[in-house]
Amino acid sequence: MSCNKKHLIYVIDDNPMNLLLTSKILESYGCETQTAESGAVALQLIRQQKPSLILLDINMPNMDGYEVCRRIKAKDEWVDIPVIFLTANTQTENLVEGFKVGGVDYITKPFRREELWVRVITHLELADSRRTIMEMNRSRDRLYSIIAHDIRSPLSGILQTLEAIDQGYIGLEGDELKEIINLLKERTKETSTLLNSLLQWTRMQTDSQQLEFKETDLFVLIQSCIDLLRPNAEQKQLTIEVEVEEELKAWCDELSVHTVVRNLLSNAIKFTPRGGKVRICASKKELQALISVSDNGIGMSPETQERIFAKGQHYTSTGTENEQGTGLGLMLVREFVNKNKGSLQVDSEVGKGTEFKVFLPLKNELNYG
């Protein structure tokens, strides 16, 4: 049995031979290790990089293991690091203190190789499970928030309109009927778009949506997004400029990248005033494909940019002509780009416009040599 992913483990002990033996055992199971001979050095290591787990000797000079553990658990960003105490046979009566300060387990020295690994892998798996559950809870809370805020609003509008018709407050003749039908159609379309986005996002959170990576023709993909959204642009009398290198292909999942480009283009149209311009370009940038979507619209402040990219944040706003958003567009963009092993950048200035840049691999990394 070995690590199914690379874990970083810190071994803290004032005995150099213990450090060497313990780290070699862990490395033989596929873990990465860092060692320290004092509590002060250990705390400095944690500040530089947070480990998956810490093996901590109790009896050390200057700062014993209990005090080191107290300082680790006192910081919010470190509190979830599992700490396993290393103890001599004569110290077992003091183990209650170890649990009080935040330790999750202890190993008595001298220990057997198999015992060390079973204790370590058990707590690594428990920590991973705990983080997964916490993330699922955060995802559930975000989902409830989105449903409560964004689905309730258009559905309430539809219901109120239907009740007004039923009670005779709104007539059903001529142009008025046509206007009401168009209004109901738009609100239903908004709700449908939100539900589809929620479905995509929820599948992604549970890893049930499998991405299919292949060479994807970006010209065809971008043109498809433009065709879908051209009516929206024409309604606001916007010009869409396109500049895509011929035969440009990216190694990505076509459906999710289509969602990325469609959402960025939709936002550019939404936040550009009537008569403005939207530009979409795609070209090679070293070993990456670069897709750029820019506009001369209302732009964003640094605070807004920080909010839309804050992990776990749900942020929505209305367009220049009161177009309603789902609040999920940029969440999907950010997460789909990450899952396609790409990166996302934004450059925006209030009153001058916004440019989003999506970088995607040109080739399959596994087959590229």
Domains of the chain: 8-111 (3.40.50.2300), 138-209 (1.10.287), 212-369 (3.30.565.10)
**Predicted model pTM:** 0.52
Query: Torsion angle of alpha carbons 86, 91, 94, 97, nearest 10°?
Result: -20
Compute the average pLDDT of residues 148-176. 69
148 or 238, which is more confident?
238
What is the mean predicted confidence (pLDDT) over 230-235?
83
Determine the average pLDDT of the residues in 250-263.
87
Look-up of token digits 């860092």: 34
- SS3 breakdown of the chain: % helix, strand, coil, rounded to 5? 50, 20, 30
DSSP state of 183: H
Question: d(Cα 54, Cα 82) in Å, to the nearest integer?
Answer: 6
pLDDT computed for residue 3 by the predictor: 59
Nearest to 229 by CA among 258, 253, 202, 201: 258
Could you tell me which residues come within 8 angstroms of residue 340 by beta carbon, excluding any fewer than 6 positions away? 211, 213, 252, 253, 256, 257, 260, 360, 361
Which has more pLDDT, 320 or 240? 240
Split at pLDDT 50, 70, 90, the class of 227 is confident
pLDDT of 369 reads 41
46: helix, strand or coil: helix
Q: Would the pLDDT of 322 be above 90?
A: no
